[in-house]
Structure 1
Amino acid sequence: MKTLSRLALCALLATSSTAALAGSFQKVDHGIIVSPDKGPAKRVRILAFGDEAFRVTAIPDENFEAVSDGVMVTAKPDGDPVVSEDRGTVTLKLPSATARVNLTSGQVSFLDGSGKAILNESSRAAFGPKTVEGQKFLAVRQQFNRGTDEGFYGLGQHQNGQMNYRGEDVELAQHNMDIAVPFVVSTRNYGLLWNNNSITRFGNPKPYALAGSEGDGLKIVGTDGKPGWTAQYYLGDRLAVTQSEKVINYQYIRDNMRWPEAAKAQTVASTAGQNTAGNAVQTQRVIWSGKVTPGKSGLHRFRLYSSSYVKVFVNGKEVLERWRQNWNPWYHNFDVPLTAGKAADIRVEWEPNAGYIALVHNDPIPDADRYSLSFTSELGQAVDYFVTAAKDMDGAIAGYRKLTGKSAMLPEWAYGFWQSRQRYETQDQLLDVVREFRRRNLPLDNIVLDWRYWEDPNWGCHCFDKTRFADAKGMVDEVHALNARIMISVWPKFYPTTDNYKELDKIGGIYRRMVEQRPGESKDPKYISKMYRDWVGPGYANAFYDPYNPKAQDIYWRQIRENLGDMGFDAWWLDADEPDFHSNLSIEERAYRMSPTAKGPGAALFNSFPLVHSEGVYQRQLISKPNVRPFILSRSGFGGIQRAGTAVWSGDVASRWDDLRDQISAGVNLSMSGIPNWTHDIGGFALEDRYTKQDPAHIDEWRELNLRWFQFGAFTPLFRSHGEAPKREIYEIAPAGSPMYSSMEWYLKLRYRLMPYIYTLAGDTWQKDGTIMRGLVMDFPADLKARNINDEYMFGGAFLVAPVTEFKARSRKVYLPAGADWYDFNSGAYYKGGQEIRAEAPYERMPLFVRSGSIVPTGPEIEYTREEPDGPIVLHIFTGADGSFSLYEDDGTSEGYKRGEFTRIPIQWNEAKGELTIGKREGGHGGMTSKRAISVRFYDKGTARPVDFAENGKRAVVYDGSAVTVRKP
């Protein structure tokens, strides 16, 4: 993990005495600049954006010219605040927000439109000098709302089941599965965007350290009484090595080179997947044991970075058990309350299997600091952040998008079903899948061609291996003829032997440190293979291009357009854009190899690569095809990526029940980071051998895991099946007619029935800055229980989704938030809100509830999204409260929605009158349906019956765009 220097950390954590005299301020366009009397910040600039947002920039000198605007924010200051001064405090008042700055300290506080205090700087801005690549930077920190009781959400996508980040620590550093977005939205209805591109910590400002290392607060003694952990290395059942180790640290490739010679096992190439390091032939085990004595009492936080099988025991009790594929280890958090001076027994049991492991730790901090809003960044030029105030959390997210860009609409077909696999090796394999879906009448809109469609060693040629893809253009054409779309995987990676690499390298558009060793670095072939060669075949030298270089962006786009885009591919899968140069390099090594960029050292821009990369493709595609919506799928993201026609997915997660559960909070918080289009690999990407080999003893669990993940996926923004072997098509997982097959077929058809509802949610992301996948707290802010629930969410305003995340579970606890009543979708039973129930969860169904007052439009049974654009609509009215819905339609593919080419049909349900009003159609677009059959089906709490979207309503009208009223019978 990245660590601050002692000087920088001490400077960040130091406090300054309060000055006795007030400073001064001057008015500037749209704001003020304050010169505090004393303290680390010599200048504090506050600028207004619109009616509700401010930017605060604090610097330790007087030169704002060194502070860039960054890449996330596209808005310019345009607010017109009323500025006043009273007794050493300057107030900037906007219609919906107010900022106040103390002239003595330079500290800023904020109020919402009603005058209620929402946010205040709890301490002065902190700065620590740093030098990187010969350039001077600052480590920066700011703390807010010390001791707060508010809930925090957003921060991107993280994999530890954290929904509410109050009291949590989160490191924002791009990694496969972990997406850094330095934006947080609060239950006080404000959003804070921390304007920094480098590695950033939310929560405890102190970096986590290897447990037992110098500077860590733990004293560790082994079972033999010697300092450090007692490490026992087994080969099979034979104890091969016993030694004392100060820390548990085989975290990265270089660390693994220290493995004890006598404990090395023979390995061979993996039979599946990308792990060419192999699976161990000899079974290995390592056990670390120690008595751990803390210097402080309180909640000690541990993070176990690991791959393969691992367990952690504290005082004999298992507190953690996980598996992850070897080439993609990640952190698993666990907290342990410890008493100063009192030892606890900790044991870590690991099956290495050529994997990685490290145990890191942080001491407790005072509760007032733990429960605060704190950002600490490795590199910057200022403490720089934006605050937007609103009336609710939706408004705060809308304010964020006003700053960073509206969420560009995806084409309608993107919300249909995606079938993918790692990987279709020939064009016949890919086409046979589309044909089979059509033969079986299974809905499908999209097929995906994953990596390595080229001939080795030509990564980056953007060309096809003619022996496997003899007619790539014909393949694309046939997909289109089958009424489907095709996405292709394109990486930012090139082999130096390709012409595309050479063209980029010629203009300085390649990260050459990926292929050039440091002076004095080992020339040993094994070292070079591990550190500088990829995992394909014998391993090849490779490098990524520099998207911060506009000329390189132009070349990159031209290369993929001429070689792939002109064939008719519909969407770009921009994989590995964290960027993941080489799995299991350290953070420091990744930052080093990312340098120099055209905009400065890679460490200073570390988190922003996916935004710059995706936006470069998006903008250039709009130039090439100005009236076609681009669609990009990215494995990573950053603040503002929603403006670039980009959906993100949760990366190469493991096929495990824990990972399924973690996707819920990961997807919700990514969505609450202002990025509404999210997806995941249904079934998980990487599998244990027991699943890959289809072991009869475990095949039922694999199938059930896939089914439960599929049920969940039907109610996420994008519905996408992908992963390594075994094959992921539903007819490959289970035979037709089986309960599993029938359930997946049912959810496929349900998803397509819901397309009028789902596409309206999609339209709302642009027109209303809406969020599709929603934390319960967004719709039920008054219900404090809803804040921390991490295994439920809202899908739009109507559906409460409660995925099943345990093997053989046939029921689960579901909390129904207060503030609404609820219909059980599967039974029709009616429940009052504000209670926890035990919901039935039969194998074929996932618990699903509909909020009273909801209006849910559904369409006909179709096999692709535009099969019946003028098909009949059924309005399902869930009575019990007033409700409204504004049905959105457009042509589904063009940029016309930005020009106002769309329709809205306002629909209102009046509970007291028992009347449904289908309002006058608003707007228009090419291909608009002039008349449509609409039927209405009412659900009432007095009649419990399962919801059936295949059944038409008994009240029907022919809607011609004029308002019509339908009364409940």
Structure 2
Amino acid sequence: MKMNLRKTGILLAWAMIIAANGTAQNVQRTSQGIKYAAQGMNVSVEFYSPSIVRVYKTPGETASDKESLVVIKAPEQTPVSFGENGKNVTLSSQMIQVEVNPETGGIYFFDKLGQRLLTDKDYGTQFTPFNDAGVPSYNVRQAFLLDKDEVIYGLGQQQTGKVNQRNQKLFLRNQNMSICIPFIHSIKGYALYWDNYSPTTFLDNPQETSFDSEVGDCADYYFIYGGNADGVIAGVRDLTGQAPLYPLWTLGFWQCRERYKSPDELCEVVDKYRELKVPLDGIIQDWQYWGCNENWNSMKFQNPRYINKMGDPEYMKFLPNGEDKNADYGTPRIKSPKEMIDYVHKQNAHIMISVWASFGPWTEMYQKMDSLKALLHFETWPPKAGVKPYDPYNPAARDIYWEAMKKNIFDLGMDAWWLDSTEPDHMDIKDQDFNTQTYLGSFRRVHNAFPLMSNKGVYEHQRATTSDKRVFLLTRSSFLGQQRYASHSWSGDVTSEWSVMRKQLAAGLNYALCGIPYWNTDLGGFFAWRYNNNVNNIAYHELHVRWYQWGVFQPIMRSHNSSPVAVEIYQFGKKGDWSYDALEKYTHLRYRLLPYIYSTSWEVTSKAGSIMRPLMMDFPKDKKVLDMDTEYMFGRNFLVRPVTDSLYTWQDKKQNGHQKDMSKIGKTDVYLPQGARWIDFWTGQTLEGGQTLQREVPIDIMPIYVRAGSILPWGPAVQYSTEKKWDNLTIRIYPGANAEFTLYEDEFDNYNYEKGAYSTITLKWNDQDRTLTIDDRKGSYKGMLKSRKFNLIVVEPGKGCGDGDSTTFDKSISYRGKKVIAKL
């Protein structure tokens, strides 16, 4: 089936807008825009809201009505005024003005003060005929003009290490480690989304900025004006969907490995964390629980080690490639997948499982998809095993996919899904591979939307199945709009290197500026080749510790590495060893921050907020931060500066690690943005913004600063996220400016919050009067605390600092839901 395009004839009767000099002709006024012919094209300019405009161009004699896979917003009723400017036609809402030149095809966007924001270049649209797997179509190119010094962000998650996306050429085709979204976000407070899913070349040079897509029937883009970065992201979410709220337990710590090879091995990891009293909320089962490559992703536990069938000929054929069928693994303690999942739950943890977007030829799923003509016939991972991706664009295929997940895995009690290889993996790439037909036309036409549609199928089906468990999807690829499917991405199978770690900051920050809020990176990197795949390499310990420290301030905190390296905390020694102690310290820190992180997540859902915030979001007037790729804001309070250089170890020519004298404390540079004062999280020292300093960074210290004028709820010490109620919270007040924070709570793991079952408590700090006002609690939910204690502390050097508990407070408040004012 081809993409849903309805051919409609061009309206022959044009409503004429005639300028005084008679030059603006052949323009038809619509309720919220105009239609006209220019440069051999039919063009529609339509307001979707006062701040969002769609521009839609088609070649030739007919216009096509395209159904977007990304945009779900219907045009809202928007008052639009029409006018003329010489030969040009103007359209104005209360937010922006659009000026159109019907002669040249140029379109010019202005803010309400008349400042030009973006230019759709005169004569800048090109349609070049293209044979798309036998279907007449076009290569489509659209050029724009930006200001010379304009900084832009976005384009998904790239591995260039660049925050500013100017002056480069990028080929946007999703692949491992590269999430490709034809979306740019300008420092001027607007964004542009090019609504095309085929491989696309982005080019920015001094002459123009362009998107050049391999196939399309139209040039289709959305101009989104927000005035600032938060406004832009709010517009993106309005256009493409809001991000649902994750359950609290997803915001704790996740441990993963490639791979746990039996239920016993997985459960022993959970046991060990509980024994060591190191917090843990999630454990992840990676691939091959299904068995060998020919049985790839059967969506069943058929590996004989998982179902107590070692030695049984019926199941030994499924033993994973390379495993010794004669090995003696002993009598298993955990004898079934159901028992494994139940055991994890009894340990107050949750479990996620890897599910792929492809199937091996032995699987029932392969046969079902093949009979539906819903397999994509090109080489994917693992190669030379007959494995094929499925067609997620086909709704019937998405139905079959979920039915197997539900019957064989979800109904056992599985908590979350790891949707791996959703680019999908494409091996030995040939141009004709992209001629492969999907439900919506050639694979070339819809390639980059593969992860969007794959995540869509799982999210929508689980939501239809139950409202008692929130959907949580981890996936390796993404596209605009994917946030609406409770999907979060990680940066792929990156190598364990300092330079690669640094690049992940720019990758994650640009991804966040596409409006997709949840992201993480494998802590420590995935492939440890540079360290001889040796977890005992002391140089690897330093890298892993620094990456892990950064992970506390990523939306999702997940440790993972490639076999044979295992990265559970106890692989790094024991208490008293510097690497173990640092990992333990930062794991506890993550859990102390959960009330802050969960409340920030609520802001993401309810107010289109962001967790990872490039500094340009909060300090756009500070030119030094516009392309800052070393630090960012975590929520609105924390300035985070990961340490991305080796200071305490070195490697010889054989890559063996050696430790330096750790009593010689290293330093790293930290820039404190203008427009705020900053308080060192560890010391309580207040510093002025607008300066670069050299911060000492012992191995257990990552530079963290709190913006003066912040309120931080400090959670209890726990072993898992819901172990203790938040009935005795410390409230840290960082003085120096007025502050406000809203504490959000609900039942933590169902969708009752969508029906209003939640509460908020807003705390306000008046810095001049030194008073904290705790407003009336709003809302309610089942199990809500009726009373609680707030322990108030105004941070200063030696008081309320660092990761420990305060023993004295400025004041303790018994709060029962009614307004309280505390003088401090």
After TM superposition, the score normalised by the length of structure 1 is: 0.76
Match of 1:950 in 2: 805
Match of 2:27 among 12, 25, 28: 25
1:955 and 1:395 map into 2 onto residues whose CA distance is: 38
**Is 1:860–1:871's contact at 8 Å kept on the other side of the alignment?**
no
Match of 1:597 in 2: 438
Residue aligned with 2:532, SS: helix
Match of 2:670 among 814, 817, 820: 814
**Is 1:859–1:871's contact at 8 Å kept on the other side of the alignment?**
no
Alignment of 1:389-404 (within 5 A): 389-404=225-240
**Is 2:496–2:530's contact at 8 Å kept on the other side of the alignment?**
no
2:221 and 2:425 map into 1 onto residues whose CA distance is: 28
1:533 and 1:569 map into 2 onto residues whose CA distance is: 25
Match of 1:345 in 2: none
Q: Does 1:705 align with 2:553?
A: no
1:588 and 1:758 map into 2 onto residues whose CA distance is: 45
Match of 1:786 in 2: 625
Match of 1:149 in 2: 149
- Relative to structure 1, the CA distance from residue 944 to residue 897 in structure 2 (aligned partners, 3 Å threshold; closer, same or farther) is closer
Match of 2:737 among 881, 885, 890: 881
Q: Does 1:610 align with 2:455?
A: no
Deviations 1:222-247 (A, max 9, x none): xxxxxxxxxxxxxxxxxxxxxxxxxx
Using the TM superposition, give the Cα deviation of residue 689 of structure 1 relative to its aligned residue in structure 2, in angstroms: 6.1
Match of 1:338 in 2: none
**Is 1:81–1:92's contact at 8 Å kept on the other side of the alignment?**
no
Using the TM superposition, give the Cα deviation of residue 752 of structure 1 relative to its aligned residue in structure 2, in angstroms: 0.3
**Is 2:118–2:146's contact at 8 Å kept on the other side of the alignment?**
no
Match of 1:409 in 2: 245
**Is 1:83–1:90's contact at 8 Å kept on the other side of the alignment?**
no
Q: Does 1:468 align with 2:299?
A: no
Q: Does 1:108 align with 2:110?
A: no
Using the TM superposition, give the Cα deviation of residue 170 of structure 1 relative to its aligned residue in structure 2, in angstroms: 2.7
Alignment of 1:864-943 (within 5 A): 864-940=720-796
Range that drifts further, 888-897 or 400-409:
888-897
2:804 and 2:547 map into 1 onto residues whose CA distance is: 22
Match of 2:317 in 1: none
1:89 and 1:195 map into 2 onto residues whose CA distance is: 26
Deviations 1:195-226 (A, max 9, x none): 1111122224xxxxxxxxxxxxxxxxxxxxxx
Match of 1:965 among 818, 821, 824: 821
Match of 1:838 in 2: 694
**Is 1:509–1:545's contact at 8 Å kept on the other side of the alignment?**
yes
Q: Does 1:79 align with 2:62?
A: no
Match of 1:481 in 2: 346
Q: Does 1:586 align with 2:451?
A: no
Residue aligned with 2:66, SS: coil
**Is 2:678–2:686's contact at 8 Å kept on the other side of the alignment?**
yes
Deviations 1:590-639 (A, max 9, x none): 524xx200100011111000000001110011111134211111100001
Residue aligned with 2:459, SS: helix
Match of 2:98 in 1: 99
Match of 2:36 in 1: 34
1:877 and 1:955 map into 2 onto residues whose CA distance is: 12
Report how many aligned residue pairs link the two structures: 754
Using the TM superposition, give the Cα deviation of residue 895 of structure 1 relative to its aligned residue in structure 2, in angstroms: 1.2
Using the TM superposition, give the Cα deviation of residue 949 of structure 1 relative to its aligned residue in structure 2, in angstroms: 4.7
Using the TM superposition, give the Cα deviation of residue 588 of structure 1 relative to its aligned residue in structure 2, in angstroms: 2.8
1:441 and 1:778 map into 2 onto residues whose CA distance is: 38
Using the TM superposition, give the Cα deviation of residue 373 of structure 1 relative to its aligned residue in structure 2, in angstroms: 3.7
**Is 1:48–1:81's contact at 8 Å kept on the other side of the alignment?**
no
The amino acid that maps onto 2:152 is: F
Alignment of 1:354-753 (within 5 A): 368-369=206-207, 372-456=208-292, 457-465=294-302, 467-470=304-307, 471-511=336-376, 513-514=377-378, 534-535=382-383, 539-582=384-427, 585-586=428-429, 588=431, 590-592=433-435, 595-688=436-529, 690-693=531-534, 699-724=537-562, 725-753=564-592
1:198 and 1:556 map into 2 onto residues whose CA distance is: 24
**Is 1:199–1:606's contact at 8 Å kept on the other side of the alignment?**
yes
1:622 and 1:152 map into 2 onto residues whose CA distance is: 36
Deviations 1:102-154 (A, max 9, x none): 23223211223444321222333222221110112222222223443221112
Using the TM superposition, give the Cα deviation of residue 509 of structure 1 relative to its aligned residue in structure 2, in angstroms: 1.5
**Is 1:122–1:146's contact at 8 Å kept on the other side of the alignment?**
no
Range that drifts further, 483-492 or 450-459:
450-459
1:533 and 1:184 map into 2 onto residues whose CA distance is: 31
**Is 2:288–2:303's contact at 8 Å kept on the other side of the alignment?**
no
- Relative to structure 1, the CA distance from residue 58 to residue 627 in structure 2 (aligned partners, 3 Å threshold; closer, same or farther) is same
1:943 and 1:542 map into 2 onto residues whose CA distance is: 60
- Relative to structure 1, the CA distance from residue 20 to residue 654 in structure 2 (aligned partners, 3 Å threshold; closer, same or farther) is farther
- Relative to structure 1, the CA distance from residue 95 to residue 813 in structure 2 (aligned partners, 3 Å threshold; closer, same or farther) is same
Residue aligned with 1:758, SS: helix
- Relative to structure 1, the CA distance from residue 165 to residue 445 in structure 2 (aligned partners, 3 Å threshold; closer, same or farther) is same
List runs of 5+ in structure 1 lacking aligned partners.
1-18, 205-364, 515-530
Using the TM superposition, give the Cα deviation of residue 907 of structure 1 relative to its aligned residue in structure 2, in angstroms: 1.2
**Is 1:691–1:702's contact at 8 Å kept on the other side of the alignment?**
no
1:841 and 1:376 map into 2 onto residues whose CA distance is: 46
Residue aligned with 1:203, SS: strand
**Is 1:815–1:834's contact at 8 Å kept on the other side of the alignment?**
yes
**Is 2:715–2:726's contact at 8 Å kept on the other side of the alignment?**
no
Using the TM superposition, give the Cα deviation of residue 851 of structure 1 relative to its aligned residue in structure 2, in angstroms: 0.8
1:776 and 1:198 map into 2 onto residues whose CA distance is: 32
Using the TM superposition, give the Cα deviation of residue 900 of structure 1 relative to its aligned residue in structure 2, in angstroms: 2.1
Residue aligned with 2:671, SS: strand
Using the TM superposition, give the Cα deviation of residue 722 of structure 1 relative to its aligned residue in structure 2, in angstroms: 0.4
1:802 and 1:180 map into 2 onto residues whose CA distance is: 26
Deviations 1:565-587 (A, max 9, x none): 111110110000101133xx236
1:533 and 1:804 map into 2 onto residues whose CA distance is: 34
The amino acid that maps onto 2:497 is: R
Using the TM superposition, give the Cα deviation of residue 22 of structure 1 relative to its aligned residue in structure 2, in angstroms: 3.9
- Relative to structure 1, the CA distance from residue 964 to residue 945 in structure 2 (aligned partners, 3 Å threshold; closer, same or farther) is closer
Match of 1:45 in 2: 44
List runs of 5+ in structure 2 lacking aligned partners.
1-20, 308-335, 649-665
1:861 and 1:752 map into 2 onto residues whose CA distance is: 7
Deviations 1:827-851 (A, max 9, x none): 2222110111111111111111111
**Is 2:497–2:530's contact at 8 Å kept on the other side of the alignment?**
no
Using the TM superposition, give the Cα deviation of residue 20 of structure 1 relative to its aligned residue in structure 2, in angstroms: 11
Deviations 1:43-65 (A, max 9, x none): 21011112211100122224222
**Is 1:52–1:388's contact at 8 Å kept on the other side of the alignment?**
yes
2:364 and 2:177 map into 1 onto residues whose CA distance is: 32
1:504 and 1:948 map into 2 onto residues whose CA distance is: 52
Match of 1:64 in 2: 63
- Relative to structure 1, the CA distance from residue 92 to residue 532 in structure 2 (aligned partners, 3 Å threshold; closer, same or farther) is closer
1:140 and 1:147 map into 2 onto residues whose CA distance is: 24
**Is 2:448–2:479's contact at 8 Å kept on the other side of the alignment?**
yes
Q: Does 1:184 align with 2:27?
A: no
The amino acid that maps onto 1:668 is: L
Residue aligned with 2:437, SS: coil
**Is 1:444–1:864's contact at 8 Å kept on the other side of the alignment?**
yes
**Is 1:419–1:721's contact at 8 Å kept on the other side of the alignment?**
yes
2:433 and 2:631 map into 1 onto residues whose CA distance is: 36
- Relative to structure 1, the CA distance from residue 123 to residue 830 in structure 2 (aligned partners, 3 Å threshold; closer, same or farther) is same
**Is 1:159–1:663's contact at 8 Å kept on the other side of the alignment?**
yes
Deviations 1:703-726 (A, max 9, x none): 000000000001100000001132
Percent of matched pairs sharing the same residue: 37
